[in-house]
Structure 1
Amino acid sequence: MRAFVAAVIGLAAAFALVLTLSAVGSPPGETSPEPLLTTVPGSQR
């Protein structure tokens, strides 16, 4: 029973965090026009 209560409290806290972050919204600004490098340059085979 204690595990169930702890799980409910954890889920409620996570849900409240998601709602808070979605209410605040994303910070203002622009994305970079440069693509992100996902590999080390020059390591192509």
Structure 2
Amino acid sequence: MRALIAAATGLAVALALVLTITAVGAPSGETSPKPLLTTVPKHP
């Protein structure tokens, strides 16, 4: 029974966090125009 209460509490906290972040909205700012490098460049 304690595990069920702990799981419900954790779920409620997670849901509250998601709703809070959604209500606040995305932070304003600009993204970098340069693309991120995801691979190591080849050397000739």
Using structure 1 for the length normalisation, give the TM-score: 0.83
Structure 1 gaps, min length 5: none
Corresponding position: 1:21 with 2:39? no
Runs of 4+ with deviation above 6 angstroms: none
RMSD over aligned CA atoms reads: 1.3
Post-superposition offset of 1:39 = 1.7
Query: Matched residues in 1 for 2:42 and 2:14: separation?
Result: 42
Q: Percent identity?
A: 70
Using structure 2 for the length normalisation, give the TM-score: 0.84
More displaced stretch, 20-29 vs 7-16: 20-29
Match for 2:24: what amino acid? Answer: V
Structure 2 gaps, min length 5: none
Report the count of equivalent residues: 43
CA-to-aligned-CA distance 1:3-22 (integer Å, 9 cap, x gap)? 00000000000000000011
